[in-house]
Each structure stands twice: as C-alpha cells, then as structure tokens.
C-alpha cells in the first residue's frame, strides 16, 4: 500500500516537473521574439544588417525612433485617435454585445431562435467588399469620418453568441425573475445584476474588441484619405514601413550605402510602438480573462 502511494507521489512529482519545464520553455519561446524585436529597434542599422538580431542591443541608438517621431504631431495625434476609438468602441461594443446576448437568452423572448439564426447566418455569408464599401460611402455617407472605423467593428455575431452562452450557462434565469418580481424592469435587471455578474465574459470579449480596434488599419485605408489630419496609428505606421521599403528599393544599385539608413530598425520600432500599449494593458484584465476561459469547467 505504501509502495503504491510512493509510486503515485513520485509519478505526480515527475509530471509536475515536466509540466513546469515545458511551460517554461514555451513561455521563453513566446517572449524571445518580442525581446529580440525590442532590442533590434534600439540597434544600429549597420550592426543589425551585418550581425543580425540579438537579445541585447550591441550598439545602442535611438535613430529608428527619431525617424518615426520626425513626423511631429502626426504620431501623437494618431495615438490619441486610436486610443479614443479603442476606448469608445470597446465600451459601446461591450454594452451592445452584453445587452443583445442577455435578450437572446431570455426564455420570454419569443423570437430568440429566429434572431439567433440570423446572427449565425451572417458568420457564414456576407455581402462582400464592394457592397460594404458602397454601404459606408454612398448610403451612410461616412467617407473620411471616424464613424466609418468605429461602427463596422462595434458588434460581432461571434461575440454575441459567446455572451449569450455565458449568461445562459453561468447566470440562472431565476435571478432575473426574482429581481423583476421585486419591481425591477428587465433593463434595470440587466444593468444591476447581469453586467456585474458577467465580468469574466466582459473582460474576455472586451480584450478581443480592443485588439480589433487597436490593430485596425484596413478600413482606415479604405475610408480615410490624406485630407484627414490624424489617422489611426496602425495606418500611419503601415505607411511608414511602405516608405522605408520604397526608399530601400529606390537606393538599390546606387552608390549609396543603405546600412546607414534605419530601415530595418524602423520596422522593429513600429512593431514595438504598436504592441507596447496592449502588452501594458493585458495584466489589468488577465485575471478576468483566465476566469472567462475556465468558467463552466468546474460544476457544483
């Protein structure tokens, strides 16, 4: 009996050690590219081109960031526009997603199955890019308007389905019924009971929505031209990379050394500028994000 117990304890320790070793190497493999990208953004262009990437910059310089911030107030304005779009879009998107998911899971909503089918249908078929472009520009008249960036990403059928399933599986409908018996309206029940109890799902879906707004550049390229003074950050950085590539191609074959120009390091610096705010914000929602993933895994 004691031998079998010792074997179980030993095998459990071995599995734990192997698991920690595997997770450690996996975490390092995920962190290493970001560390090397950050180091490359502070690297001298000649050193990066000749010696390649490293964990620490061998010849520290801020040339890449100087080249980016030579745009003056454009980068700062783009940051402000992107932050405002992300905050407003995430807040409104979460509210509308939670409200729609709450309505669709209520048993007293007679047409919930039909509406759910319609939402699911839109995940399989859409009108295509031409119809989308005509809708935004010709019918909604949102050309060169930030609403053309805000509205299309405001609500997602997948997010609604996720929220509906979370509320239905984690918040008993009897709680809503008890609140309404006490005199609360369905909307007040949603605000005072459903939303506070849905923090894990809200944090998880909110992170997805925020990432979508922060990384948005395609709709900005379609609907915002150069007449708009401040365009979203990702589009500005995308144009900077294109200019760097154009400069590199135009200098090819000429008697001008390209190792003195911060072309590759500019690409690394733009990636750092684009990802750093999201990396900084992630720890604030991590505990809710993990809980949102694991909710429902333990019964009772």
For residue 112, what is the enclosing H or E element? helix 112-124
Q: Is 81 within the bounds of a domain?
A: yes
Angstrom distances, CA of residue 199 to CA of 86, 172, 204:
19, 16, 8
Domains in the chain: how many in total? Answer: 1
Angstrom distances, CA of residue 190 to CA of 69, 194, 292:
45, 5, 19
Q: Is 300 within the bounds of a domain?
A: no
Q: Is 183 within the bounds of a domain?
A: yes
Distance CA 215, CA 273 (A): 12
Q: Is 221 within the bounds of a domain?
A: yes
Total-model pTM: 0.78
| Residue 99 confidence (pLDDT) | 92
Q: Is 27 within the bounds of a domain?
A: no
Q: Domain span at residue 289?
A: 65-294
Q: Residue 216 sits in a domain of what CATH number?
A: 1.10.3720.10
Q: What is the pLDDT along the chain (300 residues), one digit of tens a residue?
A: 555 555 556 777 888 888 889 989 998 888 888 888 889 888 888 888 788 888 888 888 888 888 777 766 777 888 889 999 999 999 999 999 999 999 988 888 888 888 888 888 888 888 788 889 999 999 999 999 999 999 998 988 889 988 888 888 888 888 888 888 888 888 888 888 888 888 888 888 888 898 899 988 889 988 988 788 888 888 888 887 777 776 667 665 555 555 556 677 888 888 888 888 777 777 776 666 655 555 444 443
Q: Is 193 within the bounds of a domain?
A: yes
């Amino acid at each position: 009996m004691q031998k079998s117990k010792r074997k179980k304890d030993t095998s459990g320790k071995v599995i734990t050690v192997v698991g920690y070793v595997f997770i450690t190497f996996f975490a390092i493999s995920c962190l290493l590219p970001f560390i090397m990208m950050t180091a490359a953004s502070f690297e001298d262009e000649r050193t990066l081109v000749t010696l390649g990437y490293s964990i620490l910059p061998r010849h520290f310089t801020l040339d890449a960031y100087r080249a980016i911030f030579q745009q003056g107030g454009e980068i700062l304005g783009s940051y402000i526009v992107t932050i405002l779009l992300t905050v407003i879009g995430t807040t409104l998107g979460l509210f509308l997603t939670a409200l729609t998911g709450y309505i669709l899971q209520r048993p007293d909503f007679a047409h919930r199955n039909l509406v759910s089918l319609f939402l699911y249908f839109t995940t399989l078929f859409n009108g295509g890019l031409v119809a989308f472009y005509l809708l935004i520009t010709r019918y909604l008249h949102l050309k060169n308007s930030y609403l053309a960036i805000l509205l299309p990403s405001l609500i997602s059928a997948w997010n609604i389905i996720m929220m509906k399933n979370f509320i239905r599986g984690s918040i008993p409908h009897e709680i809503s019924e008890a609140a309404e018996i006490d005199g609360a309206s369905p909307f007040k029940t949603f605000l005072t009971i459903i939303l506070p109890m849905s923090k894990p799902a809200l944090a998880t879906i909110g992170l997805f929505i925020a990432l979508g707004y922060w990384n948005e550049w395609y709709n900005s390229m379609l609907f915002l031209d150069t007449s708009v003074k401040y365009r979203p950050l990702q589009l500005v950085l995308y144009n900077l990379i294109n200019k760097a590539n154009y400069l590199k191609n135009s200098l090819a074959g000429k008697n001008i050394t390209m190792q003195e120009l911060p072309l590759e390091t500019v690409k690394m610096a733009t990636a750092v500028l684009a990802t750093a705010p999201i990396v900084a914000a992630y720890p604030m929602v991590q505990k809710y994000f993990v809980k949102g993933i694991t909710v429902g895994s333990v019964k009772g």
